[in-house]
Each structure stands twice: as C-alpha cells, then as structure tokens.
Amino acid sequence: MMLSPEGPPPSRWTLRAIRATFSWLHDYTLSGVWRVLERSGLALRSGRVQRFSPDPEYEVKLAYLLTCLQEAATYPDEVVLLFMDETGYYRWPKPAKDWALVAPYPMPVAPCAENNRQWRIIGVLNALTGQVDYLDNYIIGRRQVINMYNHIDESYAAARHICVVQDNWPVHRHDDVTAALDNLKRIEPVWLPTYAPWLNPIEKLWRWLKQDVLKMHRFAADWDELRRRMSAFLDQFAHGSQELLYYVGLLGEGRLAQALKVA
C-alpha cells in the first residue's frame, strides 16, 4: 500500500509514513524528519504489553503483599519475606543473536545426538538481602516444595515469622504441602493474584539466568557442565546481592521497592 495523506493511518509510525503524511515534510530526508521529531520532543519508544490479572481480589492481595514487605523492612531481625517460584531448562540451548563470522544465511544447524532432557529448579529470593536458596531435581512436585519449606525453616531459624510469596500453582496448595506447613508454624504462604508474574521478582532472576547461561550455550553434549554452570550462576547470590535486588526491582523506584522504603 502506498503511503499518502489520503491513506489510512498506520498502526505504527515510521519516518517514511510521517514524511508521506505531512506535506510540509515531503522535501526532508529521513534523517531530517528524525531531527524535526527530536526538536519537537518526540522519540522512538517501545510499546508495553498490557498487564492484567483477572483475579477479582487483585487489590486485596496486592495490599497484603505490600503490608508483608513493610513488616519485613520494619523488623528485619524477626520477619523474613521470600519470593518463591519454579523454572526449568533443557539440554539444548535457546537461540539468540551472537557474534560470528559472516556466513551464508540461514546458518546450518548441527543436529544434536542427545535427547533434549529437562531439569527443574525451585528457588526463593530474600526481599531484603537478595539471598537466593534453591533446590533442583528432574521433577519439582509436592515433595520438592515440602523440601524447600523445610530448607527455609532451617535457613531462617532465628526468624519469628517467614512470609513465602508464591503463585497459585496447584501443587502449592496440595494436601501434602498444606499438612507439612501445619508443622512449620512460623511459615506463612502469601498468595499472589492469579496471572500476575510482575509481582514476583524472582521471575526476573530466572530471566537473567536464561539470558546469561542458557542462550547459545555450547554444552548440549555436556549435561554435567551445563548443570554446573546453572548452579554456579545461582550460587553467586547465596549470601545476598544488592545488584540482584536492583535488577529484580526490589531496590529503586518500583512499587515493591517503595513498600520496603516506607518502614
């Protein structure tokens, strides 16, 4: 479709579309159009995906999460708040851009003789310190969730109250998990609104992990080395990390970070 002032407005404006739409810009080069936009305070910006949780109790659950964060910040020696989540990864690397010699496109893909096996991780992120604890296994089910709760209970033996923020995965509410929690009186599960991953900062840790370790890795034929590298990445946060807290939004100007500053 030819660009012209009479045509329908584009769904996404380009320099060419802007030049074709406004007659007084017809004689400008594309770089000239860009400079005009810059002087007018206009810049190329990325759109954002709308974030929406269908949970009718979204605001109530969010308010309670913020209250728990404030309590942890007010009584750091007595109250611990942990964000819990699970993730998984495969033997074969995730595709991504990387520097390489110029070659005909598309580049050939060498077949991998090994099966694309999977491994899973359950982890918790301390909202105040950035400390990360994790367990890994072929399967993360109710037994591993219970093991994580026991690990939390031992790791934070001095805490009076431990809030474990988590999503609504059915395994988290399994009868066996609930029964185990009955014997861990200091631990309270704090439920996130449904389909609201932006309220669970550990999701960003998984993103960082996959970006740094899994994308374009060269260890498809060395499963033990791949697992070692995954563990090494997480182990660097075993004693906490301010950098990690900034990365996941628990330090800075975000809503969760602001709740920690209120105390």
- 224: buried, middle or exposed (CB in 10 Å: 19+, 13-18, 0-12)? exposed
Question: For position 98, what pLDDT does the model report?
Answer: 79
156 close to 162: Cβ distance less than 8 angstroms: yes
Q: What was the pLDDT predicted at 13?
A: 86
Helix (H) or strand (E) holding 259: helix 255-262
CATH: 3.30.930.10, 3.40.50.300, 3.30.420.10, 3.40.605.10. Which one for 58-97+116-262?
Answer: 3.30.420.10
DSSP 8-state class, residue 143: H
d(CA 210, CA 93) in angstroms, rounded, equals 10
User: What pLDDT tens digit does each residue of the chain (263 aa) get?
Assistant: 345 556 666 678 889 989 988 889 999 999 999 999 999 999 888 877 767 899 999 999 999 999 999 999 999 999 999 999 999 999 988 888 877 777 666 655 555 656 888 999 999 999 999 999 999 999 999 999 999 999 999 999 999 999 999 999 999 999 999 999 999 999 999 999 999 999 999 999 999 999 999 998 989 889 999 999 999 999 999 999 999 999 999 999 999 999 999 65
Domain locations along the chain: 12-47, 58-97+116-262
Instruction: Please tell me the predicted confidence (pLDDT) of residue 1.
Output: 39
Whether the Cβ atoms of residue 164 and residue 156 lie closer than 8 Å to each other: no
User: What is the model's pLDDT at position 109?
Assistant: 58
Can you give the pLDDT at residue 97? 82
pTM for this model (two decimals): 0.82
Provide the sign of the torsion angle of the four alpha carbons 17, 22, 25, 26, taken in this order: positive
